[in-house]
Amino acid sequence: MAAELASQQLKRILYLIPRASDPAGASIAELAAELEVSPERILRDIEEVTARDYYHPAGWVTDLEISVEEDAVTVWTTGEFRRPIRLSPREALALALGLRLLADGTEGVRREELLTLARRLDAGLASVPAEPMTASFALDGGDPHGNGLLALVRNGAVERCRCRLAYLKPGESEPERRLVAPYAIVFSRGHWYVIGHSEEVDAVRVFRLDRVLEAEPTAETFEIPNDFDPADYVEEGAVFRAGEEVEATVRYSRRIARWILEREEVEEQPDGSVIVRHRVADPRWIVRHVLSYGPEAELLEPEAMRELARDTVAASQGADYR
């Protein structure tokens, strides 16, 4: 039963992504009717397709952006679904464990089919076979039906009700209390964001959901301005906070330049490396991004972010690299 449900969800997701890739998006109600499920199930599928976060190196999932507005969904992607892929060791391990977890919940022929599929994917897609590593992990289904902050603010966006948020800004030790009208919920570069009007500053702001410590719905309703467009806050798949962006310059080595060329606007260098100028709202994001590439990427400026990168490395290794 669990395997059949997972198979149906995969089919819905593979249908949903190209269907909602049109600039006009796709109606959630129409998608639900076409797939013969409830609108709530469609929203849950959208949430689950973004569930992988930092277990993998920087890659294609960070170039998937999903916007949920009232009764429509729009998907932006660079198109890696149209190209053959090779799984990294961690991705292969995650897939192997997932299929074996499904197999563990069923019996008979279906169980053997799932295990056979796991072995075939391991042999055909994995850059390093994952099967030898799976013996070190216990399989546990966990709680797939949990509700959290995303569901709460998403409901606020659909019902057009303001939410009270406790939001922890980068570098702060105490959260700020904000009354927010959630205009749109957006997934971009591995994170969910709330784009909405903040009562305290009387302006539209972007809040990264993993920095929201508490959220409480209110009975106060709101209207979305006619000139609001979430695309104004998304540039090539990246979400930025208005008024808080800083330009960060990163050099990527010749070894990985061809991958960066596929994803970013670059300045090619004589030695084969490339330079990218990122607009950054969260300095810690660019530090994590650069460090994820190891010696193949260097944060050139601003100096304050270079200092933060050095401090991050020092803290992780128990040494002072200044």
| 143 in any annotated domain | no
Which residues of the chain fall short of a pLDDT of 70?
A: 1-7, 23, 49-64, 70, 76-90, 104-105, 124-148, 170-171, 189-190, 234-245, 316-322
Radius of gyration, CA atoms only, the chain: 21
Q: Could you write out the DSSP letters of every residue in 222-241?
A: ----TT--GGGGEETTEE--
pLDDT value for 271: 92
Based on the fold, state whether residues 14 and 128 are members of the same structural domain.
yes
The owner of tokens 């994917």 is 121
Q: Do residues 222 and 160 touch, judged by C-beta distance below 8 A? A: yes
Whether 64 contacts 76, CB under 8 Å: yes
Read off φ and ψ for residue 110, nearest 5 degrees.
-60, -40
Residue 6 and residue 123 in one domain: yes
Residues 220, 113: one domain? no
**DSSP code for 87:** B
> What amino acid is encoded at 319 in this protein?
A
**What was the pLDDT predicted at 170?**
65
What pLDDT sits at residue 275?
95
Distance from chain centroid for Cα 36? 27
Residue 216 and residue 289 in one domain: no
**Amino acid 59: pLDDT:** 46
Amino acid 35: pLDDT: 86
Q: How confident is the model at residue 149, as a pLDDT? A: 80
CATH of the domain at 172: 2.30.30
- How confident is the model at residue 144, as a pLDDT? 37
Tell me, yes or no, whether 20 lies in a domain. yes
Domain span including residue 50: 2-60+77-134
Q: Does residue 162 belong to any structural domain of this protein?
A: yes
Residue 190 lies in a domain: yes
Q: Does 88 map to a domain? A: yes
Please tell me the predicted confidence (pLDDT) of residue 57: 43
Number of domains in the chain: 3
164 domain-assigned: yes
